[in-house]
């Protein structure tokens, strides 16, 4: 017999989530049948007013655990914590309910790259191109696939196309810059990261990538300047702390 769905619970299977203790129950990866919250175990209720508490309320109180918007927020949050498997699980849940929902597709592509999933990224990129070849997201996915298989010349070509279709998308510029950095073309990489910074005012990610590029080319003082700037903008990103340690 098919197990009845839990009202408001996420379609994400806990087995697909890498570290629920890090995500905590605020992210909609928990199921209500796990037992009453507050029993002192892993399923204890998150502190009131926290982000975790807000996710829990969306899932259980408002019945939005399966909402693409809720899952997209959870995916972005997991990705920001560099918990790629959990982020991918949320993206897969959105994809299962609505394959044409683009709420977290950039995160989806980035997770597949980070986890080295060539086959999954190949299929996703094909589907996005077939769905809308005029969408920058489709060519971002194609460029990411070629980046993953180390065909950097083709990656640059498709990232370039993505930036032409939507010049305001910082993700496309960052992908473009990474494909240049992989070919040791530092000037073009930094120019792409600066373009991303112009599109993402107030964001720390372009600063982080500029710092990483200066670190790669052994310009340590410049690397420290941009990495400290990224840390001041977002002190919670563990990758920034890791690069500062390097």
Please give the pLDDT value at position 40.
Answer: 42
Give the tens place of pLDDT for each residue, 22-40.
333 334 443 333 333 344 4
Tell me, what's the pLDDT at 117? 95
Residue with tokens 């197990």: 3
pLDDT for residue 245 = 85
Kindly report whether the global pTM for this prediction surpasses the value 0.75.
yes
Q: Which residues contact 184 (CB under 8 A, 6 or more apart)?
A: none
Residue with tokens 């720390």: 204
Question: What tens-digit pLDDT sequence spans the chain (246 residues)?
Answer: 434 333 333 444 444 444 332 333 334 443 333 333 344 444 456 666 667 777 777 777 777 778 888 889 889 988 988 889 989 999 999 998 888 889 899 999 999 999 999 999 999 999 999 999 999 999 999 999 999 999 999 999 999 999 999 999 999 999 999 999 999 999 999 999 999 999 998 899 999 999 999 999 999 999 999 999 999 999 988 889 889 887
pLDDT of amino acid 134 = 95
């Amino acid at each position: 017999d098919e197990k009845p769905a839990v009202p408001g619970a996420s379609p994400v299977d806990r087995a697909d989530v890498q570290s629920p203790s890090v995500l905590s129950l605020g992210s909609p990866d928990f199921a209500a049948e796990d037992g009453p919250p507050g029993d002192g175990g892993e399923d204890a209720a998150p502190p009131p007013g926290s982000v975790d508490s807000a996710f829990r309320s969306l899932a259980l109180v408002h019945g939005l655990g399966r909402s693409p918007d809720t899952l997209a927020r959870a995916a972005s949050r997991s990705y920001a914590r560099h918990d790629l498997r959990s982020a991918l699980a949320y993206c897969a849940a959105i994809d299962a309910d609505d394959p044409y929902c683009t709420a977290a597709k950039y995160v989806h592509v980035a997770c597949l790259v980070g986890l080295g999933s060539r086959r999954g990224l190949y299929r996703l990129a094909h589907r996005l191109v077939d769905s809308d070849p005029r969408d920058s997201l489709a060519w971002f996915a194609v460029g990411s696939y070629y980046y993953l298989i180390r065909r950097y010349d083709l990656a640059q070509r498709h990232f370039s196309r993505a930036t032409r279709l939507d010049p305001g998308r910082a993700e496309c510029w960052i992908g473009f810059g990474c494909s240049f950095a992989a070919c040791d073309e530092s000037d073009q990489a930094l120019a792409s990261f600066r373009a991303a910074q112009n599109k993402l005012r107030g964001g720390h990610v372009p600063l982080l990538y500029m710092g990483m590029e200066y670190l790669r080319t052994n310009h340590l003082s410049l690397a420290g300047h941009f990495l400290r700037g990224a840390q001041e903008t977002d002190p919670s990103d563990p990758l920034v702390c890791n690069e500062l340690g390097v």
